[in-house]
Amino acid sequence: MQTLTVQLGERSYPIHIGSGLLGQAELLQPALPRKRAAIVTDTTVAPLYLEKLRQTLRGIDVIAIPIILPDGEEYKNSVTLNLIYDALLTNRCERTTPLIALGGGVIGDMAGYAAATYLRGVPFIQIPTTLLAQVDSSVGGKTGINHPLGKNMIGAFYQPQLVLADIDTLNTLPDNELSAGIAEVIKYGLIRDLPFFEWLEQNMGKLLARDTEALQYAIARSCLNKAEVVAADERESGERALLNLGHTFGHAIESGMGYGNWLHGEGVAAGTIMAADLSQRLGWIGAQDVARICGLFERAGLPTVAPDLGAEKYLELMGLDKKVEGGKIRFVLLREIGRAVVCGDVPEMLLQQTLEACCGRVDG
């Protein structure tokens, strides 16, 4: 097992990464001083891991109330969020009752937002069970829900007290969900870690074969990158925006196609190729860089061609991005592989060219 720390002063917390961690009560105990907790999970994860977790908690005399939500990005909304509040109130959960998220990023984001807001804040624990959640969404304290007009538009920064990433849970993850997580792993290499990008080029086969050592390495290295960025810029006033490489386009794909039709990681993959294309048009990276990035996403089983929503629809959806400032869309782009920057003055003509070249069609 490896343990990393997200350094946030008094709110610092550990990320434990390894095999068999769901059974290790002593890792959870420091964040569970009381006898009760609530576990938020979904209908897919519950039959796989809920009983195992409850059993572990019983071992330290903690009785956990299960809250089982419908599974899917299309349920990451205020109606489902209310089901969490209903259950917490019905069971008379108190300010000291911790909320445990057991599942992927959808569960983590929703449970985190519920924890941030129920009784104005209750303790929160993340037990991520998808690769995407283990390398990204469980770390850093972004919580929230979607709005019909835009992705993750309602939310709060609220840090967990503990992240427990049990690699064994990835054995039951469908292949396309594993690939979706790899999209966020590749992101760290692209924005700030060239040696990691090169490692991924060498070891993609092992990750896809779910080699435990390779997964452990990739998760820990991703979490290390994320923890450093979050420690430097918790509330995204600067560097943290770089973690959104591919997300401005990707979120437009997700909401434009209808939540749940494109996985988050798939949108990020196709969106990153659009960001790379735009970076090339600005003269920052070369065609060979774009081809290299495309090649890695393709090997990971991810889409590199975005759906053809039409340029106007993309512009409308991206106009709702959280990074928009003074009405201008700010893009995360690549200066080189391993170095990303935020750019707020992309010439409109180049953006149009990227939208036309990348969406469902030919090379530009």
Site string for ligand GLY, 101-140 (x = CB under 6 A): -----------------------------------x---x
Handedness of CA 160, 165, 171, 177 (dihedral sign): positive
Nearer to ligand GLY, 105 or 256 (CB): 105
Interactions with ligand NAD, residue window 12-41 (CB under 6 A): none
Q: Is 217 helix (H, G, I), strand (E, B) or coil?
A: helix
User: Which range in 7-15, 100-108, 113-121, 269-277 contacts ligand NAD by CB under 6 A?
Assistant: 100-108
**Contact status: 264 vs ligand NAD (CB under 6 A):** yes
**Contact status: 106 vs ligand NAD (CB under 6 A):** yes
CA 69 to chain centre: 19
Catalytic: 236?
yes
Q: Which two tokens stand for residue 211?
A: 């080699």
- Integer CA distances (angstroms), 159 to 11, 105, 138, in order: 7, 14, 9
Rounded Cα–Cα distance for residues 285 and 278 (Å):
9
**Contact status: 191 vs ligand GLY (CB under 6 A):** no
| Min dist. Cβ of residue 136 to ligand NAD (A) | 4
Q: Which residue is nearest to ligand NAD (CB)?
A: 105
Catalytic: 184?
yes
From 54, 187, 192, 251, active-site residue: 251
**Contact status: 272 vs ligand NAD (CB under 6 A):** no
CA 234 to chain centre: 15
Output helix, strand, coil percentages for the chain, rounded to the nearest 5: 50, 20, 30
**Contact status: 169 vs ligand NAD (CB under 6 A):** yes
Dihedral pair phi/psi, residue 340, rounded to 5°:
-110, 155
Catalytic: 76?
no
Which one of ligand NAD, ligand GLY, none interacts with residue 169, CB within 5 to 8 A by kind?
Answer: ligand NAD
Q: What is the DSSP string of 56-67?
A: HHHTTT-EEEEE
User: Which range in 125-133, 158-166, 210-218, 237-245 contacts ligand GLY by CB under 6 A?
Assistant: 237-245
H or E segment to which residue 19 belongs = none
Which one of ligand NAD, ligand GLY, none interacts with residue 240, CB within 5 to 8 A by kind?
Answer: ligand GLY
Select from 90, 31, 33, 94 the least CA-distant residue to 66.
90
CB-CB contact of 182 with 265 (8 Å): yes
Just list the catalytic residues.
120, 142, 184, 226, 236, 240, 244, 247, 251, 264
Which residues of this protein are in contact with ligand GLY, per CB under 6 A? 136, 140, 142, 240, 243-244
